[in-house]
Amino acid sequence: MRDANLKGLATVKKTLASGTTVYYCYAWRGGPLLKNSAGEPIQPGDPLLNGAFRLAHGQRKAPSPTDLSSLITLYRGSSDFRRTKPVTRQEYDRYLDKIRMEFGRLTLEELQQPSTRGAFKEWRDRMADKPRSADFAWMVLVRVLSFAKDRGMISINIAERGGRLYRSTRRDRTWSDADVAAFEAEAPAYMRLAIQLALWTGQRKGDLLRLSWSDFDGSNLRFTQSKTKARVLVPMGPLANVLSSQRGNGAILRNSRGGAWASDGFNTSWRKCCAKAGITNLTFHDLRGTAITRMALAGCTVPEIAAVTGHSLKDVETILDMHYLGGRAELAASAMRKMVVLSCACRRAVR
């Protein structure tokens, strides 16, 4: 079987032991097998076949890279790049352009010289005032060079194990009750629902924006986390009544026009609400740690917290112990109250 529109496509038919017939489609005779993102052979008639065929031939015709600029071009056309999420590709593109402007003329030979690593480090150091951006730029550089190394274009990746500039300092970055109240005093209803969902569920922003009413059964939210693929069930408690009163179709969290949020649009609206409330040193992501800390202060065990947030037990312990220690004073006070009760009980017992 051959697609007449794909000139040169080589197809091999095979009948499996189960009796199923499969086809192995090659971009050309002796060329690469055309596979989907799961690594399975693309079958004739599959809409993916045309794109995979064109890409293979495009890469076949592409000249061998001679410098970092041409290497970046090849990387952008590769499956390594295409299988990332659209929002990730958008971020990668920004930094790929920066890398091309700064180092695009470096030859493949120069890319493997130790002195070039020093030049890369100096470039990252110039971005040290924004350490997370600097680390992301370095990570993109590492990805491009890893792509080249994996395909035999260079023999070493001199950017490997470059370390990080950013160090988490979020020990006190939890939202206090006063912070939440200040935000809600300035925020419209649809943003107040967003912050309450974050505090009650401890979920990532992306997962909350993807929540639909079909995920809510009247008492619980049931959904699969996009990053970990963990299936979670979160009882909504008193927030269930609020959700039930607003029940509709499509996304639970909606913008001022009643439409589903785009991530950038939500970020912009969130920052505006924070600015109005005078909140400058807290992020939406800090709400996740705040939720975990609140659950701990309420007496929830680590397994109970993990069941809600979808974290592993180890991750919950790490978050409580290393990053979100704003509640330590409250935990210590709670411990002392329990000790006082125990002490009084002991004294009564010995009298």
Q: Which tens digits make up the pLDDT trace of 34-91?
A: 998 888 899 998 889 988 898 888 776 656 788 999 999 899 888 888 888 777 888 8
Q: Which residues contact 258 (CB under 8 A, 6 or more apart)?
A: none
Regarding whether 108 and 83 lie in a shared domain, the answer is: yes
Regarding whether 217 and 261 lie in a shared domain, the answer is: yes
127: helix, strand or coil: coil
pLDDT at 326: 47
Q: For residue 157, is it left (φ>0), alpha (ψ between -120 and 50) or beta?
A: beta
* Structural domain total, the chain: 3
Regarding whether 131 and 102 lie in a shared domain, the answer is: yes
Domain of residue 292, residue span: 177-334
Regarding whether 112 and 239 lie in a shared domain, the answer is: no
Regarding whether 74 and 52 lie in a shared domain, the answer is: no
Residue 343 CB neighbour total at 10 angstroms: 10
Q: Span 163-170, mean pLDDT? A: 68
Q: Is the pLDDT of residue 4 over 60?
A: no
CA distances from 80 to 56, 129, 217 (A): 14, 30, 39
Q: Span 197-218, mean pLDDT? A: 94
pLDDT level of residue 338 (50, 70, 90 thresholds) = low
Give the pTM: 0.54
Regarding whether 181 and 114 lie in a shared domain, the answer is: no
Regarding whether 72 and 57 lie in a shared domain, the answer is: no
Length of the chain: 351
Regarding whether 183 and 317 lie in a shared domain, the answer is: yes
* Residue 340 domain flag: no
- Please tell me the least confidently modeled range out of 171-185, 188-202, 279-293: 171-185
Computed over every residue of the chain, the mean pLDDT equals 86
Q: Which residues contact 326 (CB under 8 A, 6 or more apart)?
A: 171, 172, 173, 174, 176, 290, 293
- Per DSSP bridges, beta strands 21-26 and 10-15 are antiparallel
* Residue 216 domain flag: yes
pLDDT at 297: 78
Are the CB atoms for 264 and 225 separated by under 8 Å?
no
* Residue 315 domain flag: yes
Regarding whether 222 and 257 lie in a shared domain, the answer is: yes
Q: Is the pLDDT of residue 324 over 50?
A: no
In angstroms, how far is CA 309 from the centroid of its own chain? 15
Tokens of 14: 């095979």
Regarding whether 325 and 181 lie in a shared domain, the answer is: yes
Q: Span 267-275, mean pLDDT? A: 95
Regarding whether 220 and 123 lie in a shared domain, the answer is: no
* Residue 347 domain flag: no
Q: Span 309-336, mean pLDDT? A: 67
Q: Span 222-243, mean pLDDT? A: 89
Q: Compute the distance between CA of residue 16 and CA of residue 343 in angstroms, rounded to an integer.
A: 74
Q: Which residues contact 141 (CB under 8 A, 6 or more apart)?
A: 95, 99, 120, 159
Amino acid at 220: N
Q: Span 120-149, mean pLDDT? A: 92
